[in-house]
Amino acid sequence: MTESDLQERNHYLERKVNVMNRLADVSILLNTTYELDSLLTYLMDAAAAITDCEAASVLLWDEQQHNLRFAATTTLQTGLELIGKTVPLQGSLAGTCLTEGRVIQVDDTVNDPRHYTKFDEEKQFATRSLLIAPMRQEDKIIGVLEVVNKRSLPWTEDDHDHLMVLVSQASVAIDRVQMVTALQKANQELSELDKLKSDFIAIASHELRTPLAVILGYASFLKDEAQGKLSQHADKVIESGLQLRHIIEDLMNLRYLQENPSDMHIEPVSLTSIVGEAAQDVQSLLEANGHNLNLNIPTDLKVQVDAILTTMGFTNILNNAIRFTPQGGHISVKAELHESSEVWVTISDDGIGVEAEQLERIFEKFYQIEDHMTRKHGGLGVGLSITKALVEAEGGRVWANSDGLNKGTTITVVLPLAS
């Protein structure tokens, strides 16, 4: 082997080491970058340098338009103007590469009929040679990476291998960044929707309360003054008005808990007084539906809770039991000490019951066990979600049990025992 051969061999090995180091650096950068433009810049610079080319470009697949779109390019003079430009699948080397799923090498693009010449003509840029590789992540199409105008033709086997290493790393990284971006966008949209919902609840609750108070006032006056059917009509107005007021209160309580999660006054409270107040709150509904309510609460039990909010929680559970129990049904509330540090309160009814797959979901905000077009029972579906939120904020737990449709429901509330 001559000295010239040795020098050439050493030069090749030295370049090989430099390429391997560059690939290692790019791998680290691609896996630690979560901003797409920066990621693509690293990728293109590395691709052009490693293959000894004048320029490189990344074209990403547009699922909606079914074409390729320039996402980044190192072509200094025309790069910014190319961003966003589209390349068709048919009649382009990039499209052929993507549809056939293989690397395409072109040594003379001028005489290749597959070359898409539109941008060369517009930007007066001469694309002489191309090496293009498809980017996929499992079954997902990502796009293509192309390097342009190799400084010393022909393309080598190393060029192919190095480009495929880059493509393999880039496909995973781009897919990850796209998923993170999509998730961030979805979270932003959800946040905006949640704010709109909260604003709507605040405005609607405020605007409904005043006219509702007037309606209930006039209806009560009419009931006192009227007789016969007119008095019965007034009763219906009052009943419907009270239901609407309960809905408004649920909305306001939901908003309060969301905006003031830590604004609770925890203290030892008699469980008998809490459940008794809740029972008093629903007394008119119990009478209207002919239900029998049985309370079995030891008088010496005290729990460590916020008295006002916990009363509201039990009121919500009782309201639910009343709504979903047929006329003349039975509802019972029982409490007992459990494991010396907890009080278990069970609220049972002999109502319509809940299917097993819906037991967890009844505590979700606005969830209805009946179809909204055909349901017979009122309510917004927020009462139990409010109860769950406040009980958990107090350090307790809540869950539901049912043997199925028409077999009643039991809701268990676990509260911390007052020391």
Q: Is the pLDDT of residue 369 over 70?
A: no
Same domain, 396 and 276: yes
Distance of CA 133 to the CA centre of its chain: 35
> Is 198 among the domain residues?
no
Q: Which of these, 415, 417, 388, 386, lies nearest to 400 by C-alpha position?
A: 388
Give the whole-angstrom CA distance, residue 385 versus residue 379.
12
The more confident residue out of 265 and 223 is 265
> Is 107 among the domain residues?
yes
- CA dist 336 → 259, 317, 343, 399, 409 (Å): 33, 18, 6, 16, 19
> Is 234 among the domain residues?
no
Give the residue numbers spanning the domain of 380: 264-416
Q: What is the pLDDT of residues 387-418, one digit of tens each?
A: 998 899 899 999 999 998 888 999 999 999 99
Identify the pLDDT of residue 310: 94
Average pLDDT over residues 218-236: 82
Identify the pLDDT of residue 375: 47
> Is 153 among the domain residues?
yes
Same domain, 147 and 268: no
Domain boundary among 178, 206, 222: 178
> Is 133 among the domain residues?
yes
Q: Which of these, 305, 262, 278, lies nearest to 418 by C-alpha position?
A: 305
Q: Could you give the 3-state DSSP secondary structure of residue 232? A: helix
Q: What is the 8-class DSSP label of residue 341?
A: T
Number of structural domains (the chain) is 2
Domain boundary among 163, 178, 193: 178
Same domain, 151 and 270: no
> Is 229 among the domain residues?
no
- Cβ contact 349:409 at 8 Å: yes
Identify the pLDDT of residue 372: 42
The domain that contains 18 carries what CATH number?
3.30.450.40
Same domain, 166 and 29: yes
Neighbouring CB atoms inside 10 A of 42's CB total 18
Q: What is the pLDDT of residues 48-86, one digit of tens each?
A: 988 989 989 999 999 888 999 999 888 655 555 788 899
Same domain, 277 and 172: no
Give the whole-angstrom CA distance, residue 131 versus residue 107.
8
> Is 238 among the domain residues?
no
Same domain, 388 and 274: yes
For residue 263, give every residue at least 6 positions away whose Cβ sits within 8 Å of its Cβ, in sequence order, or none.
none
Same domain, 18 and 148: yes
**Nearest-10 Cα torsion for 388, 394, 396, 397:** 10
The domain that contains 301 carries what CATH number?
3.30.565.10
Domain boundary among 178, 213, 244: 178
Q: Could you give the 3-state DSSP secondary structure of residue 242? A: helix
